[in-house]
């Protein structure tokens, strides 16, 4: 094969790949596009106490419910606290405990737990959640939570000054919950049908899913009700239903590529961009505002015969500085790497990027959906 012919074939392959990616279509499993009716998570919530903190817990004078909770818990364990006892509980924090109960969960299954402070605790780092019941919307207990709390933030304080990185008043307990009661899930209606809901409403994707399912089974077992709902005809017995739904989930459907997305975690400052995010030409100014408060108390001492008292008069020096934020031009970016380089050129921290991305979205320069979690 000649060198010219090899070069021509390589160029054709590159052109073909470019055309395939530019069409914006991709094959996805139905499992990634839709979910079955009734097969969903169930939210759980509970109240508990985190103990073992290093002096960063609730101040009982400002969070009296923490002291009441400790008294009630100790009484259930056979310990009586005399009335009127002033307990200095700096190592305890009252928290709300939340979790998601997956479908088809069985007794003894472990689930992840999220713990969030509801008092004035400064940090939950190093604490342990005591056994807390988790209830559903019907008020029944479905799980129990307990374990060591993992906090993603860190902080330090000394001599009245403090510094913190990320959020410390909330944390997670991986596999910290145990399912105690099951939630029954019924597949299908009495007429033998089951609805399948698309995660994103799209008439074209609904049409393609119906065509792919009917082609897979060689019969009209699927029909679209609207741009989000597809109705399936189920077999009679449960084992055949499981096999049927497994085949449906595994069917590949060529769909239009979803919208570009930018997801920002406001708690940790993490920013994630999909590969289809683009920028239009825009001018952006970014500056930092810093406020410094210097405490400088003064002592007021009267004369010897004045008959007054020596007092300390509080005094503070406040300085506000604003760093220059000259306009910077962001060129049109059609590639994800160009977008990242353009945002990095602003010299902004991940926390500052949230406000910048919101401004770009409002001005129409950001071609993506902005989601803050």
- How does pLDDT run across 66-115, given as a tens digit for each residue? 888 888 888 888 888 787 776 777 889 999 999 999 998 999 999 999 99
Domain end (from 153, 179, 205): 179
DSSP line for 252-301: EEEEEPPPPEEEE-TTT--EEE-TT-EE--EEEE---EEEEEEE--EEE-
CATH number at residue 242: 3.30.70
Instruction: Answer yes or no: is pLDDT of 360 > 80.
Output: no
Element (H, E) at 242: helix 238-249
3-state helix, strand, coil in the chain (%, to 5): 25, 35, 40
For residues 159 and 250, state if they share a domain. Answer: no
Residue 23 inside a domain? The answer is no
Structure tokens, 91? 């190592």
Are 46 and 165 part of one and the same domain? yes
> Is 163 part of a structural domain of the chain?
yes
Residue 310 in domain: no
What's the DSSP call for residue 84?
Answer: T
Are residues 175 and 71 part of one domain? yes
In a domain, 304, yes or no: no
How many domains does one find in the chain?
Answer: 3
Residues 58 and 172 in one domain: yes
Look up residue 219 and give its DSSP letter. Answer: S
Stretch 136-145: mean pLDDT: 94
* Same domain, yes or no: 62 and 170: yes
- SS3 (DSSP) at 303: coil
Query: Are residues 233 and 206 part of one domain?
Result: yes
Residue 336 lies in a domain: yes
CA dist 190 → 36, 53, 197, 236 (Å): 16, 54, 19, 11
Q: What is the pLDDT of residues 148-206, one digit of tens each?
A: 999 876 655 554 555 556 678 899 999 999 999 988 888 878 788 999 999 888 898 89
Chain centroid, CA 160 distance in Å: 32
Does 298 reside within a domain?
no
Q: Is the pLDDT of residue 233 over 80?
A: yes
Residues 181/107, Cβ–Cβ less than 8 Å: yes
Are 118 and 87 within one domain? Answer: yes
- Coil/strand/helix, residue 308: coil
Q: Are residues 252 and 265 in the same domain?
A: no
Tell me the pLDDT of the chain averaged across its residues: 76
270 lies in a domain?
yes
Residue 96 lies in a domain: yes
In a shared domain, residues 158 and 174: yes
Are 162 and 213 part of one and the same domain? no
Give the range with max mean pLDDT: 14-28, 86-100, 223-237, 327-341. 223-237
Shared domain check, 70 and 161: yes
Residues 282, 327 share a domain: yes
Residue 237 lies in domain: 186-256
Q: Which residues of 229-247 are buried (b: 16+ CB within 10 A; e: fewer)?
A: bbbbbbeeeeeebeebbee
């Amino acid at each position: 094969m000649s060198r010219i012919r090899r070069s021509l074939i390589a160029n054709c392959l590159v052109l073909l790949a470019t055309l395939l990616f530019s069409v914006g279509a991709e094959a996805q499993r139905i499992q990634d596009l839709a979910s079955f009716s009734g097969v969903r998570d169930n939210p759980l919530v509970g109240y508990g106490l985190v103990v073992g903190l290093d002096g960063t817990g609730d101040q009982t004078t400002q969070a009296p419910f923490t002291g009441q909770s400790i008294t009630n818990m100790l009484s259930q364990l056979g310990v009586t606290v005399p009335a009127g006892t002033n307990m200095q509980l700096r190592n305890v924090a009252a928290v709300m405990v939340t979790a998601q109960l997956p479908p088809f969960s069985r007794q003894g299954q472990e689930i992840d737990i999220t713990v969030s402070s509801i008092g004035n605790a400064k940090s939950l780092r190093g604490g342990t959640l005591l056994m807390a019941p988790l209830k559903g919307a019907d008020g029944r207990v479905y799980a129990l939570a307990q374990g060591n709390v993992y906090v993603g933030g860190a902080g330090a304080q000394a001599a009245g000054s403090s510094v913190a990185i990320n959020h410390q008043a909330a944390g997670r307990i991986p596999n910290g919950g145990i399912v105690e009661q099951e939630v029954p899930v019924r597949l299908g209606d009495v007429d033998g049908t089951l609805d399948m809901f698309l995660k994103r409403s799209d008439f074209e994707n609904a049409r393609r899913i119906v065509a792919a399912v009917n082609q897979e089974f060689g019969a009209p077992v699927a029909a679209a009700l609207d741009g989000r709902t597809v109705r399936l005809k189920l077999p009679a017995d449960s084992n055949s239903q499981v096999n049927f739904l497994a085949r449906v989930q595994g069917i590949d459907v060529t769909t239009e590529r979803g919208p570009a997305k930018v997801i920002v975690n406001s708690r940790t400052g993490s920013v994630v961009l999909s590969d289809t995010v683009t920028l239009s030409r825009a001018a952006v100014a970014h500056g930092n505002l810093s406020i410094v408060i210097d405490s400088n108390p003064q002592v007021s001492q009267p004369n010897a015969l004045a008959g007054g008292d020596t007092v300390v008069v509080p005094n503070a020096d406040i300085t506000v500085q604003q760093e220059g934020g000259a306009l910077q031009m962001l060129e049109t970016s059609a590639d994800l790497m160009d977008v990242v380089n353009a945002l990095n050129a602003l010299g902004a921290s991940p926390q500052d990027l949230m406000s910048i991305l919101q401004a770009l979205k409002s001005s129409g320069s950001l071609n993506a959906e902005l989601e803050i979690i």
